[in-house]
Amino acid sequence: MHEDIKSVLITEEQIKKRVQEMGEQLSKEYAGKRVILICLLKGAAFFACDLSRAMSIPVRMEFMVASSYGDGTTTSGSVAVRLDVKDDIAGMHVLLVDDIIDTGLTFARVKTLLETKKPASIKTVAMCDKEDRRQNGLEADYVGFTIPDEFVVGYGLDYAGDYRNLPFIGVLKPSVYARA
């Protein structure tokens, strides 16, 4: 698996440090509020769990499945929501957590859906931001790392379901996805 990685972009240590910083920041900003982290599966699972443990305030967690990629390396342009939240989020402060904001299409679609559920607020949290690829101008409210326009895997980010379990974020060799 490691032989498929061209370079390590963000080390495991850098991830741990940044997630801790983000958890502390969110804990201060949301102290005394009813907070729910909504994790976009599957990619954000690692990040959302680590982020929740880095927070010192009570938080609930919910999960959604939304995707615009399938098994490819570029967005399909349409976002499919396959699993919606089960809890009533009305009046709660939502932190919508994803592994990466790329085109912004997934965040925008899910945020619009969640707004219909009458939360007190919705803020977006992304581990990685590929701002050069944005199609809709949406910016994440909280970002772990801004990264270049490379195809990255690890720490939840995948290619066709593989590489999520890498403890770092690395650039996948183009030869790997050229085989598909």
Which residues form the catalytic set? Answer: 102
Token pair in block for residue 147: 């990264």
3-state SS assignment for residue 111: helix
Q: Which residue is associated with the tokens 């996805």?
A: 177
Please, are residues 17 and 10 in contact by the beta-carbon 8 Å criterion? no
